Structure 1
């Protein structure tokens, strides 16, 4: 293990006591509901919560599919629809090339299932194995596709905007290419026949936050209109595309894209379909193995239960297992596939825990003589698992509240990194700036504001550390580097109720940039104990109220909790519904604890 390679990055290091996580502050959102809320029958608490999330008008809470932005507003969606309609009519071989995460899996499954529903008889999919081919439509993937059946049309989903060489290889082979993506484009675009991406120059689509699955869903909406105009449905029934909103909801939440109103409409429709028992068998089976009730499913269940099980296939092996689960129409087969995905997720957790232990030991080793967290973080261990470094980077980022990149060995002479960032520091822009200042240092990169991937020559690692740190320092001058828990204020004892918890649970959908409400308050400690070896179970009482409340804090610092001396705590918490043996009760899910002084 060669930890010393990480040393050049550090300008200042945390003390050992801080390593379990940087200290956080609780900050209350100071928002008064605008005048538009005054005449609404909505609960004042909900009005306050929605206003704090930028909802200026109660009408914006209407989340029916009829409120969706129109597909004709998405640049070139009509052109993509025309190409697809021609291919279906001519019975051409259509190949969907996807990505190896949950967004890519749902995008691929939606494209395949929807095209088949439209009458396409010759449609298949291919997803690069991340360990053999890397990301996106590459010349090697085109070669593999030709060997497996000579497609006449390749449609990328959740990738392709940076596939310059791959598109060129497809064009040379006489294959039409349609790129559908949502990632940020580079300075040069691939010479595809059609590119649909809300984030490409010239696209005025109001929602730039569509996930890959959202983009392909919009193209299917445009395709249905195109086929209807051609008279395609005179002899066959036009499919109801609402049947695919469960896939759209899953991919959108799992990819952690901002839940603007348009995305909330898509997610709300998918959640409603799942609750009504109309979802695809694969999604229902995945909820089942995760011990989640489909009837009471919320967005966080998709993000923390279903999504990781699909992602585990792509991280450890082949995402095709997840795609087949999502495409499966037979219940028993879907259950078998879901069980296999569940086991892969268990394996992923074991690998991740070991990697995280190694990373935290490194932090301990490096924190002997310093007193502050670093401005940025890079970690490299040759034998780390490529499929899990993204989760590791996310965990360390959460602990230190700093941009973090974790690296593992890739192809010979190369290392692959997965980056995660914090609000205010656009990680793809950081990598772009490094690549511009230091040509050749980064072999390839791509991603979003909060997450990105990159490949380096192994010999460039130390130089990249310095360049990355310097670039973060330039961008972080006006960024608040203190971890903050945003609170929606204090709840009265009357609102600490099952009724309020149930209302909040289904008032979303909550997610990225539209966070689930968090409240704060001071509570008396009646009882505390560890459960599951690392979770703190509390019985609390609000001062002035004799009613007891259950609370739980997950993954606590075992050096500090349980604390027998703690008699009163300030907590930041979510109000949740705990369902156990058919009984529902209110529970505080603790986000942050401030011990009594």
Structure 2
């Protein structure tokens, strides 16, 4: 992918920070819209209060009634990491608060698709629930909630996805993005919403002496923050101040060795140290292994891993999850090569590709098309939708990934408005969405989608931009600064980890792990300072490059911990050859 590097501009005056904060961190925070020490604090006392969450009192009252009456509660989740952590948190919290009958159900993505559908309500009836609580879904489940109502099953919806023009007729809806909700953090993940609901339920139970009357130990909701951190980071929601608090608190518990056995086992199999864990480890090591279960198998396995207190069982399930993730990588790799072959058949010149790119292969795995769309989007920097055949006769499923500047769900909404017969259903976020349509309409949709993307984006928007926090002096490329930046997070979506750029002498280069470029770089013209660097997932047709003597790189300053010895290294996000003008 070709890219241009732009320097970030601080949007906040550094004078609002206390003098003890490192000047570089002041500048970095300022460029991310943080203007004071208060916005950096990640203690729980700074967490937003739940009072302004619309629908919360009604939801808590209904769940409270279910506890009093010993009613059967069924948690209906989603098949991704956010849905898994949400389901695990809800079930464990309810059981700790004295729920007699509580279980969970996750729709198999291949048989039922997403959310509380009428078909899933039929499956749910086997549990004889009096109350269904949806987690990380439900806001678009109009017909599913109607079916539950007809069956005499109450539904409490907890979700964070954007609502459509119609809301489900649930007995309560808790979603910061629903109309009229004044909760200021609209970026909660599904697990964050569930955490607020369960915390409010505990408060209500405490106020009516529920725990003392029942002889129950009052649960400490902070015990679930490891799940909240994992689900929040893995779902790639923006890390606003409130989410940074939730993630930071979860990371602290994990580092202190107080996480659940399932998370410890996943960290162990991913070769990550719990004591040095950062948010990116949750996103790149734990999240994929959890998501792989929902993509290739049944997410119930992942939820079981998160819920068990048996360390041996957690380790065994973690190994199964790791195997599934390896399978996912293999499937994804072959699908990506097939997709690239399709693109070469369209045109080898990127400038001639559609603005909105659609790819279809009936044999692709439904569970992996989202990752495929993401990989192709990263390579060509344009909105991408990957399609595969659905289990439903004559239907295909698509998974979309977008780029900054195009709200993908709104784009699909515009296509549906102008071509009402094409899309059977769709939903999603600004950057990701899913849809279903009849196969016969694929080419019509392909044209309509490209037309809509061209209406909203220009050619300049298709130019990838890497935002840099500037160039570091050679004296600043050291272990102390790397550790300072590491501790300055948690970093993540919309609060990106510090990125720097510079030109280095390329002293050594070799491929490791099949497609990662390991380098030794010289800093400055005298090359007296030598630094290790690694670029992941490079184009092996371009690298190693024996003609390259100097490279321009965009990088993160990282602490490499190898056999107990810590050294500074560069994590390279983008590399280009300076002396020849060639680019990756």
Tell me which interval the TM-score lies in, with the shorter structure as reference length.
over 0.9
- Between stretches 148-157 and 367-376, larger displacement belongs to 367-376
2:325 is the counterpart of 1:345: yes
**Secondary structure, aligned partner of 1:245:** helix
Counterpart-to-counterpart distance in 1, 2:145 and 2:530: 62
Output the CA distance in 2 between the equivalents of 1:110 and 1:198.
19
The Cα shift of 1:440 comes to: 2.3
Equivalences for residues 59-208 of structure 1 within 5 A:
59-146=38-125, 148-208=126-186
Residues 515-565 of structure 1: CA distance to partner in whole angstroms, max 9, x if unpaired? 111100111112112222321111111114511100111111222211122
2:486 to 471, 486, 505: 505
CA distance in 1 between counterparts of 2:52 and 2:540 reads: 52
Q: Please say if residues 332 and 371 of structure 2, whose CA atoms lie closer than 8 Å, have aligned partners that are also in contact.
A: yes
User: Quick one: structure 1 residues 596 and 391, their matched pair in 2 at CA, closer, same or farther if it must change by over 3 Å?
Assistant: same
* Cα shift at 1:255: 0.3
Q: Name the CA distance, whole Å, in 1 between partners of 2:117 and 2:12.
A: 50
The one of 347, 353, 362 aligned to 1:382: 362
Provide the residue aligned with 2:7 in structure 1: 28
Contact 2:360 2:387 in 1 (8 A): yes
Q: Quote the Cα distance in structure 1 between the aligned partners of 2:187 and 2:127.
A: 35
Structure 2 distance, partners of 1:569, 1:308, is: 31
Match of 2:253 among 268, 273, 291: 273
Give the C-alpha shift of residue 78 in structure 1.
Answer: 1.4
Unaligned runs of 5+ in 1: 1-20
- Residue in structure 2 matched with residue 256 of structure 1 by the alignment: 236
Counterpart Cα distance in 2 of 1:479 and 1:225 = 52
Ranges in structure 2 where 5+ consecutive residues have no aligned partner: 580-584
Pair 1:567-2:555 in alignment: no
Q: TM-score, normalised by structure 1?
A: 0.95
Instruction: Work out whether 1:50 is the aligned partner of 2:29.
Output: yes
- Give a deviation string over 1:483-535, Cα, whole Å, max 9, x none: 01110001111110111111111211011000111100111112112222321
Number of residue equivalences: 575
The structural deviation recorded for 1:98 is 0.2
Mapped to 2, the partners of 1:596 and 1:534 lie a distance apart of 22
Query: Residue 479 and residue 333 in structure 1: after superposition, are their counterparts in 2 closer, same or farther (change >3 A)?
Result: same
Secondary structure in 1 matching 2:462:
coil
Tell me how far apart the structure 1 counterparts of residues 4 and 513 of structure 2 sit (CA, whole Å): 27
1:262-303 CA-partner distances (Å, limit 9, x unpaired): 000000010000000000100010011101011111111110
**What is the aligned partner in structure 1 of residue 469 from structure 2?**
488
Q: CA deviation at 1:594?
A: 2.0
Are 1:390 and 1:420, in contact at CA under 8 Å, matched by a contact in 2?
yes
After TM superposition, give the deviation of residue 478 of structure 1 in Å: 9.2
Question: How many angstroms apart in 1 are the aligned matches of 2:91 and 2:65?
Answer: 16
- Distance in 2 (CA, whole Å) between partners of 1:417 and 1:173 is 32
Counterpart-to-counterpart distance in 2, 1:364 and 1:506 = 44
Distance 2:246 2:460 in 1: 32
Query: What SS does the corresponding residue of 2:233 show, helix, strand or coil?
Result: helix
> What is the Cα deviation at residue 58 of structure 1?
1.7
Deviation at 1:150, TM superposition (A): 0.8
Shift of 1:369: 6.5
Give the CA deviation at 1:31: 2.0
Cα distance between partner residues in 1 of 2:207 and 2:264: 35
CA contact (8 A) 2:74 2:131 kept: yes
What is the DSSP-based 3-state SS (H/G/I as helix, E as strand, rest coil) of the residue aligned with 2:268? helix
2:536–2:572: 8 Å Cα contact kept in structure 1?
yes
Report the 3-state secondary structure (helix = DSSP H, G, I; strand = E; otherwise coil) of the residue aligned with 2:505. Answer: strand
Any idea what the Cα deviations from partners look like across 1:377-400, whole Å, max 9, x if unmatched? 000000100000000000001111
Shift of 1:232: 0.8
Q: Deviations over 1:105-140 (max 9, x none)?
A: 000000000001111111000000001111110111
| Aligned counterpart for 1:471 among listed residues 452, 464, 488 | 452
Shift of 1:45: 1.0
How many angstroms apart in 2 are the aligned matches of 1:443 and 1:415? 10
- How far is 1:39 from its partner? 4.1
Moved more, 221-230 or 375-384: 221-230
Root mean square deviation of aligned Cα: 1.3
> 2:453 & 2:243 partners in 1: Cα distance?
30
Among 295, 299, 308, which residue is 2:275 paired with?
Answer: 295
Distance in 2 of aligned mates of 1:162 and 1:30: 39
Change (3 A) 1:39 1:312: closer
Q: Which residue of the other structure, out of 415, 421, 424, is the alignment partner of 1:440?
A: 421
Equivalent pair of 1:78/1:219 in contact (CA under 8 Å): no
The structure 2 residue matched to 1:222, chosen from 200, 203, 208, is 200
Say whether the 8 Å CA contact 1:40–1:58 is kept in structure 2. no
Q: CA deviation at 1:480?
A: 2.3
Whole-angstrom distance in 2 between the partners of 1:371 and 1:430: 22
Which residue does 2:393 correspond to in 1? Answer: 412
> With CA pairs under 8 Å and 6+ residues apart, which has the higher RCO, 1 or 2?
1
Whether the aligned pair in 2 keeps the contact of 1:373 and 1:400 (CA below 8 Å) is no
User: How far does the alpha carbon of each residue in 1:326-384 deviate from its partner, in whole angstroms, 9 at most, with x for none?
Assistant: 00101111000111101000111100000001001112222256744431100000010
> Contact 2:138–2:159 (CA<8 Å) still a contact in 1?
yes
- 2:10–2:32: 8 Å Cα contact kept in structure 1? no
For residues 245 and 494 of structure 2, the distance between their equivalents in structure 1, rounded to whole angstroms, comes to 15
CA distance in 2, matches of 1:388, 1:592: 25
Compared with structure 1, are the counterparts of its residues 33 and 444 closer, same or farther at alpha carbon in structure 2 (3 Å cutoff)? closer
* Cα distance change on mapping 1:189 and 1:371 into 2, 3 Å: closer
Q: Which residue does 2:265 correspond to in 1?
A: 285
Partner of 1:520: 501
Give the drift of 1:238: 1.8
What does residue 511 of structure 2 align with?
530
